[in-house]
């Protein structure tokens, strides 16, 4: 999940205008993550697409996909786990529970964020 989060942060930061389409592949320099192989990056990029975290304009005949931007659920996921503090705490909870799904990670992160917000507003 660390790689998914890192790739999502990189996808979000791509310098794109509304309506742009960019071919994203495991060897795209803008999404390269040090310490991971081409195959690992390809697999995790596919998982991001399968999870519905991206808006795709069309399939691409080679490895990769045409990226239009993050989907609503992609933004939701990323906004839930963006903070390194929230991400670390979310991973600790998932590890202690002995397993997780993407939905459970997001729910855990949101619960932690809600608790922080309640503390800030005195609720």
Mean confidence (pLDDT) of the chain: 89
Domains of the chain: 2-71 (1.10.10), 83-121 (no CATH)
**DSSP 8-state code for residue 52:** T
How would you class 77 by CB atoms within 10 Å of its CB: exposed for 0-12, middle for 13-18, buried for 19 or more?
Answer: buried
Instruction: Give the whole-angstrom CA distance, residue 4 versus residue 24.
Output: 14
* Sheet (strand 54-56) strand order: 22-24, 65-70, 54-56
Q: 45-86 pLDDT, tens per residue?
A: 999 998 999 986 665 557 788 899 999 999 999 999 999 999
Q: What are phi and psi of 20, to 5 degrees?
A: -70, 155
Residue carrying structure tokens 């995790």: 44
Please, are residues 57 and 21 in contact by the beta-carbon 8 Å criterion?
Answer: yes
Calpha distance 64→24 (Å, rounded): 5
Q: Strand (E) positions, the chain?
A: 22-24, 54-56, 65-70
pLDDT in tens, 31-44: 999 999 999 999 99
């Amino acid at each position: 999940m660390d790689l998914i989060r890192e790739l999502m942060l990189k996808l979000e930061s791509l310098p794109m205008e509304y309506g742009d389409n960019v071919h994203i592949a495991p060897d795209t320099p803008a999404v390269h993550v040090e310490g991971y192989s081409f195959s690992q990056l390809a697999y995790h990029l596919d998982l991001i697409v399968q999870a519905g975290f991206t808006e795709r304009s069309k399939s691409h005949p080679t490895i990769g996909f045409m990226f239009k931007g993050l989907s609503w659920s992609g933004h939701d996921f990323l906004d839930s786990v963006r903070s390194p503090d929230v991400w670390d705490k979310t991973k600790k909870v998932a590890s202690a529970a002995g397993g997780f799904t993407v939905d459970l990670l997001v729910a855990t992160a949101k619960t932690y964020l809600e608790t922080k917000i309640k503390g800030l507003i005195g609720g």
